[in-house]
Amino acid sequence: MVEALDMFNAMKVTENISGIIYFEKRRPQGTENMNGLLHAIQNRVQIEFTYSKHWENESTHRIAESYALKEFKNRWYLVALDHKDRKIKTFALDRLTDPEISKRKFQYPQKFDVNSYFKHCFGIITSDGKEPQEIVLSFDPFQGKYIKSMPLHESQEILVDNEHEIRIKIKIYLTHDFLMEILSQGENVKVIEPTELIEQLKSNYTNALNQY
């Protein structure tokens, strides 16, 4: 919100922003439903919607209790209790269609806190019963400057900062989201620990090379 306010104030004092500010032309789908979802969250009423998963051919009808909205890499997700199995899940807004806001009230769970729920998460995938792990990463000095200016996670600690490397430690769940982030760093990062993550990376790099 602070970032958005800074941008708004900058635009307000500039009569013509054409040719001055360039926005990303890609926009995530599903944000047109935000007002309705926010209404459901604030008023604690159930919603119904159709949901499609990328790996399944059929859409499903869902009834849910909406708790929060979460953003990750320019995509928005609904954090909600799915009545199908009474589990808290994240639903991507770009795959959520035909939302209907009901008048049926629900009781917000006293023990649920969205910040605690995502505390050790990178992205939107949660633990699935596993414990968070300490992950140590070594970056070359150039890439390390980006990691220092935009930390990978709120738990990030700098262990080494010299002309040879910038080494950090974070404590998160090992998830597919984080694996994809490390792969995107390419040769600019080396995983020091844990061994489990190192083996996952080796397997992914081997499979990638086999395509060429």
Residue-wise pLDDT tens digits, 4-58: 666 666 666 556 666 667 767 777 777 888 889 999 999 999 999 999 987 777 8
Q: Rounded to the nearest 10 degrees, what angle do helices 176-185 and 195-209 cross at? A: 60
pLDDT, mean over the chain: 89
Residue, of 68 and 1, whose pLDDT is higher: 68
Q: Do domains 25-117 and 133-209 have the same CATH topology?
A: no
Architecture of domain 133-209: 2-Layer Sandwich (3.30)
Each residue of 65-112: pLDDT tens digit?
999 999 998 889 999 999 999 999 999 999 999 999 999 999 999 889
CATH number of 25-117: 2.30.30
User: Model-level pTM?
Assistant: 0.81
pLDDT of residue 31: 84
> Residue 164 pLDDT more than 90?
yes
CA 66/CA 39 separation, integer angstroms:
10
Domain ranges of the chain: 25-117, 133-209
Q: Region 147-156: what's the mean pLDDT?
A: 95
Question: What's the rounded Cα separation, in Å, for the pair 160 and 170?
Answer: 13
Among residues of the chain, what percentage have pLDDT more than 90?
72
